[in-house]
Homo-oligomer: A and B are copies of this chain.
C-alpha cells in the first residue's frame, strides 16, 4: 500500500524545499528554469497531486460553492445548473449541489457548508434564505457570506439577485393574448408560497387591468408547477360554464400537462381553448400543439449568477441587494389561437 505522495516527497526528490515546490506549482514564473524542471519531473515521477483538504485548511478557502435547488429532477433548474457548472469549472471551482426539496431544515443543513468551510459562497435557487443564517451573521445580515439568489427572489432581498422581471413577463404574455383577441383569460398559478407565483400573478392582473379587463374568480386556478397539476387544471376547466378562451400557465410543465389532458377530454388546443406557458423548456417545442411560451435565458442566468458570486468571493465583499435582470422573449408557436 504505497501512500499518496506529498509535497514533501516531491521536494526531496527534486532537491528543494516544500515552499519551492508550492511556488513552482502556483507561480511557475518566479522559480528558475532548472528548479521548475526538477520539480515538475519529481511531480511526474511521484504522480503527486495537491491535497485539497490541506490546501483549503491553510488558505481558509474551499474553492467550492454550494448550489441549493428545490428539485434537481426538474429540467428548469438543471439547465440553470449547466450554466453555473460551466462558469464554475472554468474558474476551477467545485460546485456542491444540494437538493433542498420542500424541507427548510435540509436547506439549512446544506448552507452549513458556508459556515464549516466547505464552501466559499452559495447560489440560492429555492427562494429561501434560512433565517438562522441571517441571524448568525448579525442584524440586517450586514456581514452575510457571499450569496446570490437566482431565478426565485427572496422575501427579504438582502443579497444580490439574478433572474428576470416576472411581473413584466407575465404582463407581456397577457398583452400578447389580448392582441390576439382574447378577453376571457384564465391564469393557472404556481404554488401559493412561491414568490414567482405572486410575481407572475401580479403581472397577469396588471396586464388585465391595463386593458380594462376583469378577471373572473373562477378563472384563477391553483397549481404547483408540476405536470400533474396541469392535468388537474384541465379537469376542473372542463366542468366550467363561463369558460376562458385562453389559459396563461405559470410554467411549461403545467401547460403541457394541461394540453395533454385537454386532448384526452376532447378539448382541442387551440381551437377550443388556447394555452400559453412560461419558461420555454426543451419539451415545449415538441408539445402538441407546440407551445407558445415565454423564454427565460436559463443558461445565461446560471452563468451570470455564478460570475456574480465569484466576484463577491474574490472581492471579499459583503453582498448587497443588487438585481440583475435578464430579458425574456415571447416564443410564438401554435398553442394560441388568433380570435378574429
Total count of chain A residues near the partner, CB < 8 A? 55
Establish whether residues B78 and A72, one from each chain, have CB atoms under 8 Å apart when the complex forms.
yes
Question: Within the complex, what minimum Cβ distance (angstroms) separates A266 from chain B?
Answer: 14
Establish whether residues B263 and A136, one from each chain, have CB atoms under 8 Å apart when the complex forms.
no
Establish whether residues B227 and A283, one from each chain, have CB atoms under 8 Å apart when the complex forms.
yes
Establish whether residues B62 and A73, one from each chain, have CB atoms under 8 Å apart when the complex forms.
no
Establish whether residues B72 and A116, one from each chain, have CB atoms under 8 Å apart when the complex forms.
no
**With A115-B4, A231-B286 given, is the CB distance from A72 to B62 under 8 Å?**
no
The answer to whether the Cβ of A216 comes within 8 Å of any Cβ in the partner chain is no
Question: CA A318 – CA B93 in complex, angstroms?
Answer: 29
Question: What is the 8 Å Cβ interface bit string for chain A, positions 73-117, against chain B (1 contact, 0 not)?
Answer: 111001101100110010000111111000000100100110111
B residues in contact with A51, CB < 8 Å: 57, 116-117
The answer to whether the Cβ of A282 comes within 8 Å of any Cβ in the partner chain is yes
B residues in contact with A136, CB < 8 Å: 47
The answer to whether the Cβ of A271 comes within 8 Å of any Cβ in the partner chain is no
Question: Within the complex, what minimum Cβ distance (angstroms) separates A78 from chain B?
Answer: 5
Which chain A residues numbered 176 to 225 have a C-beta less than 8 Å away from chain B? none
B residues in contact with A52, CB < 8 Å: 113, 116-118
Question: Within the complex, what minimum Cβ distance (angstroms) separates A282 from chain B?
Answer: 6
Q: What 18 new A-B contacts, CB under 8 Å, besides A50-B116, A89-B98, A260-B286?
A: A4-B117, A51-B117, A52-B116, A52-B118, A53-B53, A53-B56, A64-B96, A73-B79, A73-B81, A75-B78, A85-B99, A86-B99, A94-B113, A95-B97, A231-B286, A256-B286, A260-B288, A286-B287
6 contacts between A and B (CB under 8 A): A4-B115, A51-B116, A52-B118, A53-B118, A57-B57, A64-B96
One of B94, B98, B227, B287 near A288 (C-beta < 8 A): B287
B residues in contact with A81, CB < 8 Å: 72-73, 99
